[in-house]
Amino acid sequence: MMRDGLRILIVGGGIGGMSCAIALSGHHTVELIDLDPHWRAYGTGITIQPATFRAFVQLGVAKDVLAAGYAAKGTRFRLVDGTLINEFRIDGGTPGFPASGGIMRPVLHDILSRKTLAKGVPVRLGLTIAKLREEPSGVTVRFTDGSAGEYDLIIGADGVHSKVRSMIFPGAPQPFFTGQGAFRTLAPRPPDFDVIEIYLGDIVKPGITPVSQDQVYMFTLTPEPSADYLDASQQLRRLREALRGFGGMIGQIRDTLTPETQTVYRPLEALLLDRPWHSGRVILIGDAVHATTPQLASGACCALEDGLLLAEYLDTRATLERDLVAFTDRRFDRCRDVVESSVEIGRLELSRAPSDELTAVYTQAMTRLAEPA
């Protein structure tokens, strides 16, 4: 049966938080807050896999994503010098949609934020939760701007370093550094470049995804000694050094890098929180409980699926506690698979494992992920 509408606060206006807001807004009173006063998206591009396209279809934004992004026609694998190993030209997993593609992260953020606002969701920026207290009738929240509110449910979608997680699970494990860093760089798209390319055979793993009609983004995974962030000058020097010896389009992009090139770097961290993912009337989703590394390009997919499936459970079940337990039970194994498989691929990359071993782990994980969430 359909339950009466809940008063819901979503903390965090990223992919997971917005997907949750969009999916929940039809039957519940939803508010969303984000700490960034400008509600921005950091990063360059993201790669879209079949399961991610399926989630976009369910969320009602797939056509917008395709119009603003790029529908790739397959994947190429090359050696370090640019020699072609293999190429797969494949149809989409969801009828009418491609199997893979890419989009600029800020463009995706704009699509989801416009959809969130069109659904009538009030959005407050530049604040987060300062305190929360469970009451018999709900959760009382004090915000960092001094205001307050009372809700039936709080959804913590505030990322890998979640403040909500620290409030409800103060002893929870912290994200761990995996030994790699990720560089993301924008470059012009050659007219005939219509696939995703991945370069194998080195401890450094770069690849290229088209993200619009005129741009690609190059991702580069590198071994790093620590989780320290690199400033702009360090990023350029380190990226050039890491890509020394690469041919093909990777080498071409490397040779055009300048201090003005838009490049984003972050050390790779992962996190998988064991069940439960909720305490009382507060539940965590997305990177707050299952932050992954980019080897499967499926972190955004998991966040989108979280939002869609949490809405499904909250719309149709009997009691809030059972909803939250059932949601977590349904999501846990799939999200664990994504996190553990991604980290394992990273470990194999760092150990210079043979390319067939790497591709086997990748292919098996992607086959499982292709199944409905």
- DSSP calls for 245-279: T--HHHHHHHHT--TTS-EEEEEEEE--PPSP-EE
What does the alpha-carbon distance between residue 233 and residue 261 come to, in Å, rounded to a whole number?
A: 11
- Tens-digit pLDDT profile for residues 278-319: 999 999 999 999 999 999 999 999 999 999 999 999 987 678
Q: What is the mean pLDDT of residues 252-274?
A: 94
CA distance to 19, 50, 184, per residue, from 370 (Å): 20, 7, 25
Query: What is the DSSP pairing of strand 153-156 with strand 7-11?
Result: parallel
Residue 336 burial (10 A CB sphere; 0-12, 13-18, 19+)? middle
Q: Residue 92: its pLDDT value, please?
A: 57
pLDDT at 1 over 60: no
Q: Secondary structure of the chain: what % helix, strand, coil (to 5)?
A: 35, 30, 35
Go through the domains of the chain in sequence order and give each one's CATH number: 7-54+105-175+270-352 (3.50.50.60)
Backbone angles phi, psi at 94, to 5 degrees: -110, 125
What does the alpha-carbon distance between residue 111 and residue 62 come to, in Å, rounded to a whole number?
A: 10
> Does the bond joining 276 to the residue before it have cis omega, within 30 degrees of 0?
yes
Residue 91's pLDDT band (cuts 50, 70, 90)? low
Provide the CA 137 distance to its chain's centre, in angstroms: 34
Q: Name the residue type at position 212.
A: S
Q: Work out the mean pLDDT of the chain and round it to a whole number.
A: 93
pLDDT at 251 over 70: yes
Q: What is the mean pLDDT of residues 32-57?
A: 92
On the CB side of 243, how many CA atoms lie within 13 Å of its CA?
Answer: 29
pLDDT at 74 over 90: no
CA distance to 104, 180, 188, 202, per residue, from 215 (Å): 9, 25, 5, 26
Helix, strand, or coil here: 149?
strand
Decide which of 362 and 307 is more confident. Answer: 307
Backbone angles phi, psi at 86, to 5 degrees: -160, 160
Of 71-75, 158-162, 221-225, 252-256, minimum mean pLDDT range? 71-75
Q: Residue 206: its pLDDT value, please?
A: 97
Q: Residue 90: its pLDDT value, please?
A: 59
270 contacts 292 by C-beta, under 8 angstroms: yes
Residues in Cβ contact with 160 at an 8 Å cutoff, skipping those fewer than 6 apart? 175, 269, 271, 287, 288, 291
Q: Residue 354: its pLDDT value, please?
A: 87
Residues in Cβ contact with 192 at an 8 Å cutoff, skipping those fewer than 6 apart? none
Residue among 131, 128, 132, 178 at smallest CA distance from 157? 128
- Tens-digit pLDDT profile for residues 217-241: 999 999 999 999 998 889 999 999 9
Residue 332's pLDDT band (cuts 50, 70, 90)? very high
> CA torsion angle for 63, 65, 70, 71 (degrees, to 10)?
-50
Whole-prediction pTM: 0.95
Residue 96's pLDDT band (cuts 50, 70, 90)? confident
pLDDT at 3 over 60: no
Q: What is the mean pLDDT of residues 261-289?
A: 96
